[in-house]
Every structure is written in structure tokens, then in C-alpha cells.
Amino acid sequence: MGAGVPPSSATRPHAGTIDAHGCSIVLRRVAGPVASELFLHCRPPVAASQVREQADAIYRSIIDVLEAEGGDFGSVVVETVFLRDLPGSLEAVREARREVVLAHGGGSSPAPATTEIEQPPLQAGACLEVMVQAVLPHRVRAQREAITSEAACDCVECARAHAHVLCLGQEVRFFAGGLCGTGRGAYEQTLGMFEHAERMLRRAGMEFSDVVRTWIHLRHMERDYPELNRARREFFAARGIQPVPASTGIGGDPASEAHDLCLGVYAVKSVRPVARTVMSSPTLNEATEYGADFARGMRVVQSNDVTLLVSGTASIDEHGRTVHAGDLDGQVARMVTNIAALLERQGATVEDVVSAITYLKHPADAGRLRQRLREAGFGGFPHALVAAQVCRPDLLCETEAIAVVPRGPGPMSRSTDPAHSRYEAAGQG
């Protein structure tokens, strides 16, 4: 499974919008020295009203795009499924995914790390939207493995939990999603899910100190966020985790009804220590100053490129205060300013973003949100817009992002990605 002749260095990500099976897919390609990395966001066909029909079209479209790029569904390392009605649609989505993958000769490769979460898409009529990241190695030796761990819980969802481990030469990347922990409340469940992740990491020859990014979804954000922070702080302190990872803590119903929180992690390890730098900005204070143990972002030097992992970012000022309370326009502007400032300190711009998710508290504000993001120039890349509760009552929206720049000093070259597809890009996303 290859992606052509590897270029000497990474180039600026190249984006395009693809129409397939009635779906709209925004694809971002990054070509690096050891692999091509693809980031996709797929919206379902507007003419389909049933979740099974929408899911079938989405997965057919994703596989068509992957095959056109020289890969297949086995190339996918991580997948996020945003669902409007999780209890009523999850099994239909899983069935559609399974049938489509098997029909295309898949099923033998390790499954991607998958997070299935109830966060309703802001697109009217969409029962689900899907984001995936795929890695297509060039000539470097690559191995993939599924890692499971005995969870303390015996529920069906915990039994399904697994991680996708990708070995690229001497570098190991670990992806996991939907990990839960047992307990009577958020504090115990948080400790449990972090310990669950730790056991899985150790099976892959890693430790939690190798984690550079986490995603935490809370069913009851306002009730449980303080206890999440307390448990996370204790877990990190007990293991001497420094620096703490980048992170998003956001509202969303996990797949398991037995749990109120779930965790996703991304970790990187290499023979040589992985260079990582905490991202900061003069427009933001450090989250640890107000009791939330996560970095504003993490710069990670990998074998293929330098990845900038921007944490969930909102309308916060340099003192950690919410600004523009009750004003969506002002909050979007400040949110984008903060993200741009974080990227700028790393020699990057919004043009280097390869994937983003924006969470909106009030779905009725979706039109205004889209307009303000367009006006701010925040677009042209895979970008999911979903409804979710944010960590503070006075915050109306939050965005996380991933950007990619080449290894070495200086901003990414302005040239376009030499990778190509049999699909013609119809425009920017």
C-alpha cells in the first residue's frame, strides 16, 4: 500500500472538495518524507433521510477517496463519528460501516481507533458526519496492530475498546478512542479511564508520558467538569506527567450508557526522544493557572512532519477570563484570534490547518457561526461543526485544530502538494 515516490520534505497541505455518492468530502493531503497523510470530513447526501442510507453513502465515499489516493480503509488510523441520535442510530451506522468495508475487501487490517459520540451535526438533515485520518507509508517499513486491554467494566462497549498502533520505521504512533472507566461519579470514572488508557499504552511498550493529545467527552458537562479536572490533576501528579498533553474537554454522550465520560488519546514514541514543545500565545494564559491541566497546544516533531495540536480554544483572554459573554460574533472573533496566535508562534498560519472541529452551544446559531468563520478566513480544510456543551456556562463556542508544517525551521513552503487524485477538486471546503 503505497502513495508514490516520497518527496524530500513535507509540503503545504492541499485541500479540495469531492462529491461522491451524494456526499460532500473535504480532503486535506500532506506529503512528507515517509508517508502521505490524509484528513477527511464527510457530510451525508442531503437527499437521504435515513441514517442507514446516509452511513452507507458516507463509507462508500470515504473508501472511494482512499482507494483513489492509493490506500484503503485499512489506512485509516483514527475515526470520529458525530451522531444526532446515538441510541437510535449507532447500530445502523456500525452495520453500514462493516458491510461497506467487507465489500471492498477490508476487515483484515486493524480497525481504526474510533470515537462514536452524540454531538449533533449542524448541517440540517444530517444524521451523522464522519472525520477520518489515514496514513499511507511510502517505502518505510510500516506495521499496524490492534491493542486491547482488559477494562474494569464488563459492558459491551468496553469490550469493544481498542487502540490502533502504527509503526513507521523507528516511530510508534498510538491512537485510541472511546475509552471509559468505572466508578460512582465523574472523579472515579476519570481515574478509571486514564488507567484504562495507561494499561493499553503499556501493552504497546509506551507510558502515559508519551501522550501528546487527549479528547474527553462528558455527558454532563456542567456537573462533572470540576471532578474531571480534580481527577486528571491527581493522575498526572502521581505519574509526574510533564508537560501535560494538549486536550479538549467537551460535552457529548458516549456510546456506552453505563458511563458518563470517555477518553481519546494520541501518543508518539521513537528510538530517539520525541521533541515536543508546549504551544503558548500572548493572547491566552495557561489553562493550568485556573485548574485545568492541559496545554494550550503541543508541537510534536514526527518523522513525517511537525504536527501542531491545538487544544479546544474559546473566547478566553490573557488572564483566563471569558470575553464577549453572550456575544457569539465577538466570541468567534476572539476564538479565531487565539488559534491564529498559537499557530503564529510556531511559524504557521490557518492555511496550515489540516483538520478542525467547532462546537456550538446553541444549534440555532449555526448560520451566524458559519458566516463569522468565513469572514475570519477560518476554512478551506476538513471542519466538522457540531452541537455540544462547552466547559463554561458563558462560552458559546469552542474550536480545536490540527496543523502541519515541515520538519526544520521556518514556515511551510507555499507550494502545493504533489500528491494527486483521480478526483478533481471542485473547490475549497
Q: Are strands 353-360 and 383-387 parallel, antiparallel or unpaired?
A: parallel
Q: 51-68 and 86-103 helices cross at what angle (nearest 10)?
A: 40
Sign of the four-CA dihedral 253, 259, 260, 264: negative
Percentage with pLDDT > 90 across the chain: 83
User: 159-215 pLDDT, tens per residue?
Assistant: 889 999 999 989 999 999 999 999 999 999 999 999 999 999 999 999 999 999 999
Q: How far is CA 162 from CA 75, 151, 157, 235, 420, in A?
A: 16, 10, 10, 21, 32
All domains in the chain, ordered by first residue: 1-138 (3.30.1330.40), 141-274 (3.30.1330.40), 305-409 (3.30.1330.40)
Sign of the four-CA dihedral 15, 77, 166, 355: positive
**Confidence (pTM):** 0.92
User: 307-365 pLDDT, tens per residue?
Assistant: 999 999 999 999 999 999 999 999 999 999 999 999 999 999 999 999 999 999 999 99
Distance CA 103, CA 299 (A): 39
pLDDT at 83: 98
Sign of the four-CA dihedral 239, 245, 249, 254: negative
pLDDT at 6: 36
Average of per-residue pLDDT across 28-44: 95
Please say whether the beta carbons of 383 and 357 come within 8 A: yes
pLDDT at 187: 98
Distance CA 386, CA 43 (A): 12
- Residue with the larger pLDDT of the pair 411 and 33: 33
Helix (H) or strand (E) holding 278: strand 276-278
pLDDT at 410: 39
Q: Are strands 297-301 and 276-278 parallel, antiparallel or unpaired?
A: antiparallel
- Check pLDDT > 70 for residue 225: yes
User: 115-154 pLDDT, tens per residue?
Assistant: 999 999 999 999 999 999 999 999 777 899 999 877 778 8
- Check pLDDT > 90 for residue 15: no
Which pLDDT band, with edges at 50, 70 and 90, does 408 fall under?
A: low
Q: Which range (349-363, 365-379, 394-408) has the least confidence?
A: 394-408
Q: What is the mean pLDDT of the chain?
A: 90
Which pLDDT band, with edges at 50, 70 and 90, does 406 fall under?
A: confident
Q: 186-203 and 221-239 helices cross at what angle (nearest 10)?
A: 50
Task: Give the CA radius of gyration of the chain.
Answer: 20
pLDDT at 16: 84
Residue whose C-alpha is closest to residue 216's, from 201, 202, 227: 227
Which pLDDT band, with edges at 50, 70 and 90, does 106 fall under?
A: confident
Q: Provide DSSP, 342-361.
A: HHHTTT--GGGEEEEEEEES
